[in-house]
Amino acid sequence: MNTSGLSVNGPAVVPNSTQATKISRVLATYHGVVPQNKQTVVVGMHADPNDQSRAANVFRRARETVQTEKYGPNSFIQQFIPGKVSSEDFLVQQTNLRLEAKAREFHPPNETQAQTNSRMAERQGFLDAMASGERLWVNTYELEYRKTVAALPAARGLERTRLTRKAELYHRMKDNPPRCAVDLNTLHSRQQCDQAKMIPLGLRNWELILDFWQATITDDILTSHLEKASNVVDIR
């Protein structure tokens, strides 16, 4: 027996799909996937050829079910990762636009009035681009929030819980659009503004990407990823 209360020795008779999926979720919690070599743990070892064939089919379906739950198109992780990448890219965009605007606050030597006018117009253009991006962020999350709230009355059980969490997230995200991640008061030249620019996530080296995801994957994120297993194993 393990901490989930399920036997690790394998069932004496071929389990049904529900039972096999339950055991598979425990294995996937510990291993990330359901290992192929854990078939006997899930469906047991059987002498009868018919039982062997049936057990193999039950195990295959259980593995596919759990794999789809954890990593399929509708899984938490498939929705979380693109959203997090998009949020980080938006933060990079807003930060770098603000740095471009900040850089244009510094007067080059011997600047003519026409050059000053052009520089200030460029500064305003970057600020306008920032404001446009922020409006898009707010409007997008407002729309998703309203759609989610509208779907709540018809939802039941786990689906209602998920929608409630989504609505709370969308409302929180709507009210907190990413803004400049750099303290502008520490910048005193155009060169410093350029040096402070953020690198888009997809262009960072492996160490920086790893740092980003390690800081991003919290206990709450892991709990959501392992949601389906929460009724058969202590995921704490």
Helices (H), 4-112: 17-31, 39-43, 49-71, 76-103
The candidate with the shortest Cα–Cα distance to 133, out of 123, 145, 141, is 141
**Domain residue limits, the chain:** 1-71+221-236, 76-203
Phi, psi of 35 (to 5 degrees): -60, 140
- Tokens standing for residue 145: 């929030």
Task: Give the model's pLDDT for residue 227.
Answer: 60
Give pLDDT tens digits for 37-68: 999 999 998 988 998 999 999 999 999 999 99
Contact 145, 167 (CB under 8 A): yes
Phi, psi of 4 (to 5 degrees): -80, -10
> Residue 105 — left, alpha, or beta (φ > 0 → left; ψ -120 to 50 → alpha)?
alpha
Task: Give the model's pLDDT for residue 230.
Answer: 52
Contact 99, 180 (CB under 8 A): yes
Task: Give the model's pLDDT for residue 11.
Answer: 86
Phi, psi of 56 (to 5 degrees): -65, -40
- Tokens standing for residue 162: 């998920």
Task: Give the model's pLDDT for residue 225.
Answer: 63
The candidate with the shortest Cα–Cα distance to 105, out of 116, 96, 91, is 116
CA separation (Å) from 18 to 28, 81, 205? 15, 29, 44
- Could you write out the DSSP letters of every residue in 92-146? HHHHHHHHHHHHTTSPPTT--HHHHHHHHHHHHHHHHHHHHHHHHHHHHHHHHHH
Residues in the chain predicted with pLDDT less than 70, given as ranges, are 1-8, 222-236
Task: Give the model's pLDDT for residue 32.
Answer: 83
End-to-end Cα spacing for the chain: 18
Distant-in-sequence, close-in-space partners of 151: CB < 8 Å, separation ≥ 6 = 163
Cα–Cα distance measured from residue 59 to residue 51, given in angstroms and rounded to the nearest whole number: 12
Contact 198, 96 (CB under 8 A): yes
- Tokens standing for residue 37: 């070599």
Secondary structure of residue 202 in the 3-state scheme: helix
Task: Give the model's pLDDT for residue 126.
Answer: 98
